[in-house]
């Protein structure tokens, strides 16, 4: 008697009437190394499942990006992870930017073989920002005596309770310039000839609408997730949305997860405010 496993192996993986599905990994929110944010630890599983599904199917993975940016480290980790998986599986990657794919969000989009957006999408912001607040006179007015002991003359760089030092500003600017150089190198690597002649306009940290982003080579065209799938695989094809698995924990039930979501929402709104 034929073994059931052998019989199942002989059956076609997809019946003629089975609709085409295309995996779509949704990457929404601030990019940061904390729970509930967009980071490699949280999204590596979803991306791996997406590539595996695409490899067994239509050889296409869509990244639905909705992010104003965040951590350059996590942006780079995710981008490199996507390229590594694309190379291993032979899957083509298309990034579709929604309302916003700026700064780190655009960094991740550049990992795709093709970038699409809406003409009204916010795109770009290829720059780096850093800073804080200085209140050197506040504690004196409150009658507070501050006692700090350090080993290392620059251990207290950018101390908000001390007057600003020119050498600290120069140090911080050098760090930001190095990160910016890495960001620009990645965009050049991924966008290639599409951005030739436009570097002054796209590398100054400015953001722009999708219409202008296309004219400068930052994106390849316009579209949304469902229109991309319908155009390439027919009207009956549909998206298979994939996201990170939710981790069950008592701390989440007690409010830690809600706190992380609130923090992410506040940071996302703050970053979006810079783009307006």
Cα–Cα distance measured from residue 263 to residue 241, given in angstroms and rounded to the nearest whole number: 25
CATH code where residue 109 lies: 3.90.226.10
Residue 24: inside a domain, yes or no?
yes
Alpha-carbon gap, residue 222 to 169, rounded angstroms? 41
Spatial neighbors of 240 by CB under 8 A, at least 6 apart, are: 21, 22, 23, 24, 53
Q: Is the residue at 160 inside a domain? A: no
Mapped onto helix, strand or coil, the DSSP state of residue 259 is helix
Residue 198 inside a domain? The answer is yes
Query: For every one of its 276 residues, what pLDDT tens digit does the chain have, with 9 covering 90 and above?
Result: 456 666 656 555 565 667 899 999 999 999 999 888 999 999 999 999 999 999 999 999 999 999 999 999 999 999 999 999 999 999 999 999 999 999 999 999 999 999 999 999 999 999 998 877 778 777 778 888 778 888 888 888 887 877 888 888 889 899 999 999 999 999 999 999 999 999 999 999 999 999 999 999 999 999 999 999 999 999 999 999 999 987 655 555 455 555 555 655 555 555 554 544
Q: 26 and 64 in contact (C-beta within 8 Å)? A: yes
The CA distance from 143 to 69, in Å, is 40
140 assigned to some structural domain: no
Domain that holds residue 100: 18-132+180-274
Domain membership of residue 170 (yes or no) is no
- If one counts the domains in the chain, the total is 1
161 close to 139: Cβ distance less than 8 angstroms = yes
pTM: predicted TM-score of the whole model, two decimal places: 0.82
What is the tens place of the pLDDT at every residue in 34-52? 888 999 999 999 999 999 9
Quick check: 51 and 83 in contact, CB under 8 A?
no
Residue 145, domain member (yes or no)? no
Whether residue 29 lies inside any domain: the answer is yes
Would you say residue 12 lies in a domain?
A: no
Q: What is the pLDDT of residue 14?
A: 60
* Cα–Cα distance, 271 to 69 (Å, whole number): 8
CB 63 within 8 A of CB 93: yes
């Amino acid at each position: 008697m034929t073994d059931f496993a052998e019989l199942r192996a002989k059956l076609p993986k997809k019946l003629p009437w089975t609709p085409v599905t295309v995996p779509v990994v949704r990457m929404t929110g601030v990019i940061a190394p904390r729970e509930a944010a967009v980071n490699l630890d949280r999204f590596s599983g979803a991306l791996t499942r997406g590539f595996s599904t695409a490899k067994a199917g239509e050889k296409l993975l869509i990244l639905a990006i909705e992010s104003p940016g965040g951590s350059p480290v996590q942006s780079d980790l995710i981008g490199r992870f996507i390229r590594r998986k694309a190379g291993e599986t032979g899957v083509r990657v298309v990034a579709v930017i929604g309302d916003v794919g700026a700064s780190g969000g655009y960094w991740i989009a550049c990992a795709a073989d093709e970038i699409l957006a809406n003409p009204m999408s916010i795109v770009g912001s290829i720059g780096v920002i850093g800073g804080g607040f200085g209140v050197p006179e506040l504690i004196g007015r409150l009658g507070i005596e501050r006692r700090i002991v350090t080993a290392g003359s620059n251990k207290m760089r950018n101390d908000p309770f001390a007057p600003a030092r020119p050498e600290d500003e120069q140090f911080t600017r050098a760090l930001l310039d190095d990160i910016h150089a890495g960001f620009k190198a990645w965009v050049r690597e991924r966008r290639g000839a599409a951005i030739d002649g436009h570097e002054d306009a796209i590398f100054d940290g400015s953001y722009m609408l999708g219409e202008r982003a296309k004219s400068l080579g930052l994106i390849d065209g316009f579209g949304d997730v469902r229109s991309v799938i319908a155009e390439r695989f027919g009207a009956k094809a549909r998206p298979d949305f994939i996201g990170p698995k939710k981790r069950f924990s008592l701390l989440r039930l007690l409010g830690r997860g809600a706190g992380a979501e609130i923090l992410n929402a506040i940071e996302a709104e703050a970053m979006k405010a810079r783009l307006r």
